[in-house]
Amino acid sequence: MINKKRFIDTAELLVKVNYGKTLAKATPPEKYYAISRAILEQLIENWSGTTEAYSLGKEAYYLSAEFLMGRAFSNNLINLGIYNDIQDYLKEINIDINAIEEAEADAALGNGGLGRLAACFLDSCATLNFPVTGYGIYYNYGIFKQTFSDGFQIEEADTWLKDGNPWGIRKEGESVVVEFSDQRVRAVPYDLPIVGYETKNINTLRLWQAEALEDFNYTLFNDQKYHEAVAEKNRAEDISRVLYPNDSTEEGKILRLKQQYFFVSASLKDIVKKYKRTKGDDFSQFHLNTAIQLNDTHPVVAIPELLRILMEEDLSFKVAWGICQKTFAYTNHTILAEALEQWDCGLFERILPRIYSTIKLIDKELLKDLSSMGYPSEKIKDMQIISNNRIRMAFLAIYGNHTTNGVAALHTEILKNQELSNWYNLYPERFQNKTNGITPRRWLALSNRELTQFIISLMGDSNWLKDLERLKSLETLKNHEDILDAFMEIKEDKKRQLSEYILQEEGIGIDTNFIFDIQIKRLHEYKRQLLNAFHILDLYYRIKENPKMDLAPRAFIFGAKAAPGYFRAKGIIKFINEIAGLINNDPEVQDKLRVVFVQNYRVTYAEKLFPAADVSEQISTAGKEASGTGNMKFMLNGTPTLGTPDGANVEIVEEAGEDNNFIFGARVEELDEIKDTYDPIYFYENVQGLKRVVDSLIDGTFDDGGTGMFLELYNSLLKGASWHSPDHYFILKDFDDYRRAQMDIDKDFRNKRGWAKKCWINLCNAGKFSSDRTIREYARDIWNIREVTI
């Protein structure tokens, strides 16, 4: 419970000290900072107590290049159970809590599902009282702020820290030094509290900021060499400046490698320092007290770094390597070759010579192991960590750990039987599945308070927010008309809220009677936003040919960022915006179609989009989406899935039933059978309407500003490229079946009672997809840690 007088007095003092104002005269960002800091001040005791309690036993550490946290203010208040109290306190001094919420910038610490998963996991670890600390980078600017100019994506710096971060505490005294061959930098930790739901425990996300050992060279400045005087400062700060800097040049690749080693080295030094302080110098027990989870391949350089550290503590290679393998676990998030990270040996050795030498020792040990088991030389070559002058980080991760996990049942089976089959055959006991999950606190309690209160009224309590499987009990109400009516009224309210927000942000109005068909996720070819776009254009042409076409009006809403160097993904954004311009400016279809590509898709936007959706677009090529978590967020808010048999879609259908979702497209097995003989020209020429929409890329219908983007997209589908076959993601093959599924939605949506029932059943069966369930499995099956309650 927050002490009211202390809270208000502290906020007044902070605004006076920091800004020379009273709280009443402060700007919204100034009020947000002071009020947030005043809340944090009352959490410090529990936060310190949690850290101390955790240090007495085994702890787990979650290393990730991304933590897509979203706004902290409201989420923390809800988890603390004080949202209404703070709202009332602020109202007494004439402050609107909504203005405070809107003043907070999204923490720009992640980009896609991998980073959002990490954030959900931290929430669950704190809620369940598991001793887990997150480690990452304190990015100054994050990925980028996205705007559109003439339909093209424009990247701008995301200055999320310009007004300060009241939730981040700088721990100058716990800084460490990280060394590269050409540079030594200071890693300064910033600690962010991870507030659990209905618990006094407060976990920690420790993020590292890179700073120069010498900020300013006075001698150079005095010699009037002004740029040189601060060159080292800028060079050091570049390391933590931007999430995923463009690596199309060697300089970009070097910066990425430095980023990865920087936060991994700093984190391990911190972990080892803590171990020595609390457990002593006997490192033979290190793995019994420490579990480290590597979230994808970005932090895999931690394996040779810990080996190097342990050997410097006078452990032999054999003993140190055994400890490493018992300490680390690795989460694989993809089967895409370009995401199974590899590094050029020459570049790696030049920047991290000590680590490269250590990796060579590990590779030599692997060769010895495989040879002793009778592996032929060709098979050994296939599995080597260093091969063709490249370091294969996924192989290093699997060899250097005790557990490798996939993130959905289908994904894990593909890893075991296809992409990593050699490793599965060698270490079958190391492979597990851990289907992803989402935190119901942010993705329901925070983003859909109306639905949350409705469920509480039916359940009689809010305990289900920590035991989401209890939602299943509500399925017995699926035929109660008054329940379904109230449920769908909430959906209408969320659609109205989203429509107002889109009008405010994008200047485009959407009628809430339209079907809200939403695809929001990172822009990548395998996620097939292009398939969605082709269908929209085909629908437009059919309406133009038959203006009296019987069709439920549809609003197609996109949200996605394309990586700055991803030319083809940027072309897809431009193409969708061209289609939007055509449709939204055609008065003949205004009552039937609307297309919106929202700018700067982020967690805060997502919190408005997920609850308002009528249709959840999950249309990736079967076998390419490891899991997905957006599909779970839609489901939890009562939205049927329009999707392929891919990732967690498969498990969503298992839980809620295929009759309550819309599944289409080729399955993994079929695509495996035809991948060597597939000819997209057949579908291009024979599927009605398909040629017309594909040709719109090159026939002058749309303008790509002379960039060649649309021609390149066209050729990728019909001719392929040097690195892939034509229509690599089977867009043309799945087009007709996708269109069929869309017409099924059109028909079913008009049956209001039947549609409401589908939505309700999806909500009631979302319990499996809580990140609480996933984290319990990690704690039990991988980390071997127990709950610790203060």
Q: Which amino acids are annotated catalytic?
A: 333, 521-522, 527, 629, 633
What ranges in 446-566 are assigned the alpha helix state H?
449-459, 481-506, 529-545
Cα dihedral 349→351→356→358 (10° resolution): 150
How many CB atoms sit inside 10 A of residue 483's CB? 16
From CA 13, how far away is CA 18, in angstroms rounded?
8
Which residues contact residue 694 at a Cβ distance below 8 angstroms, ignoring those fewer than 6 apart?
534, 684, 714, 717, 718, 732
Gyration radius (Cα) of the chain, Å: 27
Q: Treating both helix axes as pointing N-terminal to C-terminal, what angle do 353-372 and 302-312 enclose, rounded to 10 degrees?
A: 100
H helix intervals, 626-708: 630-636, 649-656, 668-674, 680-686, 690-695
**Integer angstrom CA distances of residue 648 from 433, 623, 737:** 12, 11, 20
Q: How many helices (H) and strands (E) does the chain have?
A: 35, 21
763: nearest Cα among 658, 686, 652: 652
Would the CA dihedral through 169, 171, 176, 180 be positive or negative? positive
The one-character DSSP state at 599 is S
Contact 539, 554 (CB under 8 A): yes
Question: Is the C-alpha dihedral spanning 35, 36, 38, 39 positive or negative?
Answer: positive
Q: How far is Cα 749 from Cα 641, in angstroms, rounded to an integer?
A: 13
Q: Are 121 and 775 in contact (CB under 8 A)?
A: yes
User: Is residue 701 within 8 Å of 538, Cβ to Cβ?
Assistant: no
Distances (CA, A) of 687 to 235, 267, 575, 729, 746: 55, 55, 21, 17, 20
Return the C-alpha torsion angle 660, 666, 671, 672, nearest 10: 40
- Angle at alpha carbon of residue 110, lines to 105 and 113, rounded to 5°: 120
CA angle 527, 528, 534 (to 5 degrees): 160
**Rounded-to-5 percentages of helix, strand, coil across the chain:** 55, 15, 30
The β-bridge relationship of strands 641-643 and 662-663 is parallel
Q: Rounded distance, CA 676 to CA 718, Å?
A: 15
d(CA 80, CA 42): 11
Cα 584 from Cα 145, distance rounded (Å): 25
Helix axes 752-764, 481-506, angle to 10 degrees: 90
DSSP bridge partners of 179: 184
* Alpha-carbon distance values, 484 to 326, 489, 490, 643, 747 (Å): 51, 8, 10, 24, 19
Closest C-alpha among 58, 45, 53, 62 to residue 789: 53
Q: Where are the alpha helices (DSSP H) in 218-316?
A: 218-222, 226-229, 231-237, 250-279, 286-289, 302-312
Q: Which two tokens stand for residue 696?
A: 């719109």
